[in-house]
Structure 1
Amino acid sequence: MRVGLLSDTHGLLDPALPALFRGCALLVHAGDVVRPEILDALAEVAPVAAVRGNNDRDPAFDALPETVRLALGALRALVVHDLGPRDRPRPPARPLLARDPPELVIHGHSHRPGAARLGPTLYVNPGSAGPRRFRLPRTAAILTVRGRHAQVAFFELGAGRPRPFGAPVDAAL
């Protein structure tokens, strides 16, 4: 199963995203969409699961949940915008992680792309696909799930086609 991951678009749909996400079974947006048209445009590529971020103030986002649980093949995932520190997650994720820990947590907010394993859980932040902030790269990710194995590949967005960003992260979960 191939899943497109993005977060923190802040009203910008990078023109390279539809091609990057072509062939994905699902797109997961970890919040701070800002403009409802972004989700509509992404839905033309693949079904979209999204959570509300702290900048999603448009009334169109009132129906977006703060968290979403997803089955991604054989893996269970939790999507939340502002996770906080992985070892000390903030509400609303904290009780969900304690009660029924998923194999994957997809989050955003910090604009810092990366993936790290903490115990039995792989935490993935696709970074920010929106306007550049500070000196952070603009990124999105592709998650590939095969059985209980996950691979996350990050891509830097910018002029032209997305370029691989760092080495893919592999995890048996």
Structure 2
Amino acid sequence: MKIAVMSDTHLREGKSLPKWVWEQIEGVDLIIHAGDVINAGLLTDLEQVAPLEAVQGNCDGWELAHLPQRKIVTCGEVKIGLTHGAVGSGRTTTERAIRNFEHDQVDLIIFGHSHEPYLEKHGPLLLFNPGSPTDKRRQASYSMGIIDIEGKEIIAQHIFSESR
């Protein structure tokens, strides 16, 4: 299963994802958005490409209030914890993401909020933040992620672009 992962798109009405992102998501089996969508129309556009799982970010307004703060997505044999990472206990975004699922049996936690690409194992748990394809802040590049799942094997990678 091939999954496109993004977060912190912060797209206002009338704006769209960069061309390089649309090229990356072509042919994926699932799209995951880890919050701060801003414009609900983006979710509609993404659903035209592949099934979509999304959570609410701290900047998402009333039109995205129906999205949960956290959710667990099952992809074959892999359980994915999905959260934005802004809410919960912990000093850092990563700590909050981990604590959001400390009582759940998940194999992978996908989170956003910091706009900083992150990929690291914590024991058996894989943590992944795709960064942002539209708002890189202090990062050198814009980014998103691609995750391939086969059985219990998870291969996650960042896709970087210098252009927006």
Q: Same fold (TM over 0.5)?
A: yes
1:10 aligns with 2:10: yes
The equivalent residue for 1:163 is none
Distance 1:60 1:23, change over 3 A: same
Where does structure 2 lack aligned partners over 5 or more consecutive residues? 87-91
1:101 aligns with 2:105: yes
The equivalent residue for 1:89 is 96
What is the SS of the residue equivalent to 2:3? strand
What one-letter code is carried by the residue in structure 2 that aligns with 1:122?
A: L
> Could you list the runs of 4 or more consecutive aligned residues of structure 1 that deviate by over 3 angstroms after TM superposition?
83-86
Offset, 1:152: 1.0
Aligned residues: CA RMSD = 1.8
Percent identical across equivalent pairs?
30
Where does structure 1 lack aligned partners over 5 or more consecutive residues? 161-173
Contact 1:111 1:136 in 2 (8 A): no
Distance 1:100 1:40, change over 3 A: same
Distance 1:31 1:98, change over 3 A: same
The equivalent residue for 1:28 is 32
The equivalent residue for 2:129 is 125
| TM-score, with structure 2 as normaliser | 0.86
Pairing of 1:29-44 with structure 2 (within 5 A): 29-44=33-48
What is the SS of the residue equivalent to 2:53? strand
Number of residue-to-residue matches in the alignment: 155
Offset, 1:136: 4.1
The equivalent residue for 1:145 is 149
The equivalent residue for 2:72 is 69
Compare 30-39 and 127-136 and name the one that shifted more: 127-136
| TM-score, with structure 1 as normaliser | 0.82
Deviations 1:10-37 (A, max 9, x none): 1052222222111111100000011111
